[in-house]
Chains A and B, each alone.
Chain A
Amino acid sequence: MSTHAPESTKPWTKPRGTELTTKVIARPKRDFEVQAYLPAVAKGLAQTMSTFFRNTKEMVLGQKSDPVLEGFSDGVTTLQYPEEKRPYPERFRGLHRLTIRDDGSPRCVACLCCSTACPAQCIHIEAGEYDEESGRHGYERYPVRFVIDELRCIFCGFCVEACPCDAIRMDTGMHAVPYDSREQFIYERDLLMAMTGRDGSRKTANPRHEPGDPSHPGLDREHAH
C-alpha cells in the first residue's frame, strides 16, 4: 500500500524540485490622498466618532447588548458588576451549605466522611450524641461543631460526593465574598445551615427517613431485624 498522500490533497510543504511561487503584493501607493494626511484624518475621526457615540448612546439609554446572551453582537459588553452578574453554570460548585431536616436540625450525622475525603483538610467536625429521649439516640450522631475554612477549600466537591446523607451540598451558586480578615472565612455550622440552594430552600429534594416514620426500615443498634 502506498504511503503517498492522495493527489487531490495539496502538500503543505514545497515538494522537492518544484519552483517557488511568489505572490507580489503591491506597495501601498503614496498618492496625494495619503500624502495630504487630512482625508485619512477625516476618515479616522468619522470611524472613532461613530463607534463612540453609538456605544455611549446604547449604554446611557440602556440599549447595550446583554454581555452573555448577545455576546456576539456589536457594542459594549462590559458587565456593570454588582448590578449585572454573569450567571454560573447549573452545576457550578459554590460555597457549601448544610441541609436541614423537617424539624430544622442538621441532616448531618457527623460520620466524618467529608472531612476524611477532603484533600485540603478544610473541614473540622466535632460529633455529639442526641439526647436519651430522642429517637435518634444510639442510631445516629449530630455535629456539635461543623467548620469549613473557605480559604483552604479548593472547591473540588469531594465532600459532597462522600456524604451518605445528602447533608452537605455546594449548590448555593455563590462564590466566596471578599472579607477583610481570615477569621471571616471560617464558616461555622449555623452559618452553613442558614445558606440556601439556588432554589431558595434549605432542604434537599431527597427524602430522609426518620426513626418512627412508616417509611423507616426500623433498623438501629438495638434492633437489627
Chain B
Amino acid sequence: MSLVEVVLALVKILVIIGFCLNMSALTTWADRRQSAMLQHRVGPNRAVINLPSFVIQGALATPGLLLGAVAALGIGGAASPAAAMERMALGLQLTVFVVWFHLVVLSWRVHVKGPLNAFEAAIGSTLPRSYFFAGLFAHGAGIAVTSLLSQRLAAGLLPAASVYTGARVVGALLGALMAAIGIYAAMRIPKGTFGLRLAGTLHALADSVKMIFKEDFVPKNADKLLHSLAPMIAIFPALVVLAVVPFGSVLCFEDANKNGLFEFSDLAHVAPVMTRDAICAGHAVPLQIADLNVGILYLFAISSTGVIGAAIAGWSSDNKFSLLGGLRAASQMVSYEVAMGLSIMGLLVITSTLRLQPLVDWQNQNAWGVFVQPLGFLMFLAATAAETKRVPFDQPEGESEIVAGYFVEYSGFKWGMFMAGEYVEVITSSAILITLFFGGYSLPFLYADGVLVQIGDTVLFQYKMNHVAVTVLQSLTFFGKTILMAFFQVFFRWTLPRFRYDQLMKFGWTKLLPLAIANLVITGVGVVAIDQAGPGVQQGFALLGQLSQAVVALLLLAAPIALVWLLLRPVERTRFLHSTSTRFAAAAGGVKASPMQA
C-alpha cells in the first residue's frame, strides 16, 4: 500500500464520518423536533446566525458569477461539431431550466412578500405554476429543435461553423443569465444584518453546542469508568460499520509516469472514459474504505457489538430502570441478530457474493434486490429497526414504562453521544438497506461508460459519459438514496406504536425466523430451478429485470415533475372573523408585524 493510497483511505474515512455525523445531527433534529409538523405545529427552528448582509450578498453573487463564467467558457469551446451540438443542446436545456426556475422563485417571493419594484410587480402578476408549465413546454420545444438541428448536421446540411457559433451564443447567454441572477439576488438583500436560518436546520447545530455545555451528571453509586465508557462503546460500532459499504464504483487513474507505482503525480490523470465492464488499466481506487471479501459478515460482526454499549450503560448507571432497559436491549438485539442474518441469505444465494461492490454491480446488471427478494427486504427492514432499537421495537427506551431505559442516568454530551449513536445507526442501516436492496450507488441503465437503455435486445437510448461524470453521479446517488431511506425510517417512528415486549419476542422467534428460513429454502429451490430451466426462462427473467429497471427509471423521471406540480398547487382557505382581535388583525393585514400590534 503506497502513501497515496493511505492518504486516499484517510480522505474516504473523513468523507464517511463527516457524512454520518452531519446527517445524524440533521436526522435527530428532523425526527425528534419536526414531528411536531404532524400535529400542525412547527418544531423548534429558530436558531439563527446573524451575518452582515454583505456576506450573504457575496454568497449569492459569487456562485452566480462563477457558474456563469464556467457555463460561458465550457459550452463555448468544443472539439468537434458533434460535441458542439451536444453542448449547445445541454446549454439550451440549462438555460430554459434556469429561466423558469428563477421566474417561479421570484414570482413566489413577490406573492409572499410583495414586489420591490415595477419589474417584480410584472413578474409577480403571473402565477408561479404558469411559469413552470411554460418551462416544461419550452424544454420540449428545445429538445425538438436541437434534435432536428443535429439530424441536419449529421446529414451535412448544416455548416460546422454555425454550430460552433450557436454553442458560443448559448454559452454566453447562459453565463450572462446566471451572473445577472446572482447579482440581482444579491441586490435584493437589504442592508444591515441578515439572519441565516437554513430552513431551521441550524437548530441541530445549536442543540449539539448546548449539549456540550450542559452538566455531566454521574450517579453516586455508578461505576464511574463504565458509565463514561458506555456511550463511546455504543457510538463506535455505528460509525465503523460503513467501512465496507461502497459509496461509488471504482475511481480509475492512469499510470501516467509508466513505472507501475501509484504516486501523487498520477492523481492528476483520471481515466477519461471506462469500458462498460469497468475494468481499470491503471490504478483503481475503490470508493469504499475497506474492500473486504467477507463484507457482509463484517457488517453483522460489528453491528452486533452495539449491544455491549447499551448493556454496560444499563448496568453501570445503578438504576433499576436503566438495568431493565439494558437487559431488554441485550435480549432484543441478540434475538433479532439471528433473523437479520437469515433474512438476507436469499439475496446472497442469488447474487452468490459476500462483497458489497459485486452485489451492487449484480443489482445494476439485473434488478434491484427489493424486486428479487421483497419478503427478504421487509424482514430485513423489521430486523434492522429492532437492531437499532427504533420504533416499533424501542422497548429498551420505552418512555411509558422505564422512563428512558438504559440512558436514563445520562446527561449532557454523554446523552448526546447515545442520541448521535442512535441516529448514526439510522444512517448506516439506511446505507446498508439501499446497498442490499435498492441498488446502492447504481442508477438504472447507468453503466461505467454512460447511459444505455436496453429492453430485450433493442437499444432504446444510448449516451456516452466520461468516467468522472459517472463516478460523481454514482456517489451522489448513494448519498441521496441513503438520506431518502433515513427519512423513510423516520416516518416509521412517527407512525407506528410500540409493540409489547412479549409480542416483540414472539414476533422475532416465531414469525420472523421461520419466515426467513422458508424464504431461504424457496429462494434456493428457485435458483436451482432457473439454472436448470434453459435459456428461454433465463432470458424471460432478464427481460423482467430490465422492465423493473425501466419502471424505476420512469419513476425517477416522473418524481421531480410530480414534486414541482404538488409544490405549486394552489391553496384555498376560508376566513372566519369571529372575534374582535381577528377583525383587528384583518384590518391590520394579517398577523404580520405592524405598528397596530403589540
- State whether the Cβ of A218 lies closer than 8 Å to any Cβ in chain B: no
Known A-B contacts A66-B590, A78-B42, A90-B584; A51 and B37 likewise in contact (beta carbons under 8 Å): yes
Known A-B contacts A44-B495, A63-B571, A89-B584; A68 and B598 likewise in contact (beta carbons under 8 Å): no
- State whether the Cβ of B217 lies closer than 8 Å to any Cβ in chain A: no
Q: CA A44 – CA B392 in complex, angstroms?
A: 13
B582 touches A57 (CB 8 A): no
Chain B residues positioned under 8 Å from A88 (CB to CB):
581, 584, 597-598
- State whether the Cβ of A94 lies closer than 8 Å to any Cβ in chain B: yes
- State whether the Cβ of A59 lies closer than 8 Å to any Cβ in chain B: yes
- State whether the Cβ of B40 lies closer than 8 Å to any Cβ in chain A: yes
A69 touches B494 (CB 8 A): no
Pick the contact of A41: B42, B496, B584, B592 (CB < 8 A): B496
Q: CA A92 – CA B199 in complex, angstroms?
A: 35
Q: Which segment, of A3-11, A79-87, A160-168, faces chain B?
A: A79-87
Known A-B contacts A72-B574, A87-B598; A45 and B495 likewise in contact (beta carbons under 8 Å): yes
Known A-B contacts A73-B573, A86-B581, A87-B584; A173 and B596 likewise in contact (beta carbons under 8 Å): yes
Chain B residues 570-592 with CB under 8 Å of chain A are 571, 573-577, 579-582, 584-586, 588, 590-592
Q: Mark B59-73, 1 if CB is under 8 A from A, else 0.
A: 000000000000000
A58 touches B40 (CB 8 A): no
Chain B residues positioned under 8 Å from A71 (CB to CB):
576, 582
Chain B residues 1-54 with CB under 8 Å of chain A are 34, 37-38, 40-42, 46
- State whether the Cβ of B116 lies closer than 8 Å to any Cβ in chain A: no
Chain A residues positioned under 8 Å from B113 (CB to CB):
62
A87 touches B495 (CB 8 A): no
B46, B577, B584, B598, most chain A CB atoms within 10 A: B598
- State whether the Cβ of B133 lies closer than 8 Å to any Cβ in chain A: no
A75 touches B590 (CB 8 A): no
Chain B residues positioned under 8 Å from A53 (CB to CB):
566
A79 touches B596 (CB 8 A): no
- State whether the Cβ of A204 lies closer than 8 Å to any Cβ in chain B: no
Tell me, rounded to whole Å, the shortest Cβ–Cβ distance linking A73 to chain B.
5
Chain A residues positioned under 8 Å from B198 (CB to CB):
none
Known A-B contacts A48-B494, A52-B37, A76-B42; A69 and B593 likewise in contact (beta carbons under 8 Å): no
Closest to A86 in B: B591
Known A-B contacts A69-B577, A78-B41; A52 and B591 likewise in contact (beta carbons under 8 Å): no
B495 touches A89 (CB 8 A): no
Chain B residues positioned under 8 Å from A72 (CB to CB):
574, 576
Q: CA A175 – CA B598 in complex, angstroms?
A: 7
Closest to B511 in A: A37
A77 touches B573 (CB 8 A): no
Chain A residues positioned under 8 Å from B108 (CB to CB):
61-62
- State whether the Cβ of B460 lies closer than 8 Å to any Cβ in chain A: no
Known A-B contacts A68-B581, A68-B582; A83 and B40 likewise in contact (beta carbons under 8 Å): no
Known A-B contacts A57-B566, A68-B581, A87-B591; A76 and B41 likewise in contact (beta carbons under 8 Å): yes
Chain A residues positioned under 8 Å from B591 (CB to CB):
66-69, 79, 84-87
B42 touches A52 (CB 8 A): no
Closest to B488 in A: A45
Q: CA A68 – CA B584 in complex, angstroms?
A: 10
Q: CA A48 – CA B402 in complex, angstroms?
A: 27
A48, A65, A74, A76, most chain B CB atoms within 10 A: A48
- Chain A contact residues (Cβ within 8 angstroms of B): what range? 35 or more
Chain A residues positioned under 8 Å from B582 (CB to CB):
68-69, 71
Chain B residues positioned under 8 Å from A49 (CB to CB):
491
Chain B residues positioned under 8 Å from A104 (CB to CB):
none
Tell me, rounded to whole Å, the shortest Cβ–Cβ distance linking A134 to chain B.
35
- State whether the Cβ of B159 lies closer than 8 Å to any Cβ in chain A: no
A70 touches B573 (CB 8 A): yes
Tell me, rounded to whole Å, the shortest Cβ–Cβ distance linking B162 to chain A.
43
Q: CA A159 – CA B193 in complex, angstroms?
A: 41
Known A-B contacts A58-B571, A69-B585, A89-B580; A76 and B37 likewise in contact (beta carbons under 8 Å): yes
Chain A residues positioned under 8 Å from B509 (CB to CB):
none
Closest to A83 in B: B593
Known A-B contacts A60-B199, A68-B581; A200 and B595 likewise in contact (beta carbons under 8 Å): yes
- State whether the Cβ of A219 lies closer than 8 Å to any Cβ in chain B: no
Chain A residues positioned under 8 Å from B558 (CB to CB):
none
Pick the contact of B585: A45, A57, A62, A87 (CB < 8 A): A87
B586, B588, B590, most chain A CB atoms within 10 A: B590
Tell me, rounded to whole Å, the shortest Cβ–Cβ distance linking B378 to chain A.
7
Pick the contact of A48: B38, B111, B573, B579 (CB < 8 A): B38
Q: Mark B454-480, 1 if CB is under 8 A from A, else 0.
A: 000000000000000000000000000
Chain A residues 168-203 with CB under 8 Å of chain B are 173-175, 198, 200
Tell me, rounded to whole Å, the shortest Cβ–Cβ distance linking A67 to chain B.
6
B496 touches A44 (CB 8 A): yes
Q: CA A17 – CA B41 in complex, angstroms?
A: 53
Chain B residues positioned under 8 Å from A78 (CB to CB):
40-42
Q: CA A132 – CA B14 in complex, angstroms?
A: 83
Pick the contact of B592: A56, A63, A84, A94 (CB < 8 A): A84
Q: CA A10 – CA B491 in complex, angstroms?
A: 49
Q: CA A66 – CA B40 in complex, angstroms?
A: 13
- State whether the Cβ of A47 lies closer than 8 Å to any Cβ in chain B: yes
- State whether the Cβ of B225 lies closer than 8 Å to any Cβ in chain A: no
Q: CA A174 – CA B581 in complex, angstroms?
A: 14
Tell me, rounded to whole Å, the shortest Cβ–Cβ distance linking B326 to chain A.
28
Tell me, rounded to whole Å, the shortest Cβ–Cβ distance linking B591 to chain A.
5
Chain A residues positioned under 8 Å from B378 (CB to CB):
38
- State whether the Cβ of B118 lies closer than 8 Å to any Cβ in chain A: no
- State whether the Cβ of B567 lies closer than 8 Å to any Cβ in chain A: yes
B40 touches A70 (CB 8 A): no
- State whether the Cβ of B492 lies closer than 8 Å to any Cβ in chain A: yes
What are 29 residue pairs bridging A and B, where the CB atoms are less than 8 Å apart in the complex? A45-B492, A48-B491, A48-B494, A48-B495, A51-B38, A53-B566, A55-B37, A55-B38, A59-B37, A66-B573, A68-B581, A68-B582, A68-B585, A69-B582, A70-B573, A71-B576, A71-B582, A78-B40, A78-B42, A85-B597, A87-B581, A87-B596, A88-B581, A88-B598, A89-B579, A89-B584, A174-B598, A175-B598, A198-B596
Given contacts A44-B496, A88-B597, 14 further A-B contacts (CB under 8 A): A48-B491, A55-B37, A61-B112, A66-B585, A68-B582, A80-B46, A84-B593, A87-B585, A89-B579, A89-B580, A89-B584, A94-B598, A173-B598, A175-B598
B: which residues have CB within 8 A of A? 34, 37-38, 40-42, 46, 108, 111-113, 199, 378, 491-492, 494-496, 566-567, 571, 573-577, 579-582, 584-586, 588, 590-593, 595-598
Ordered nearest first, which 10 A-B pairs have the shortest CB separation?
Answer: A62-B112, A78-B42, A44-B495, A87-B585, A48-B495, A84-B591, A89-B580, A73-B573, A68-B585, A87-B597
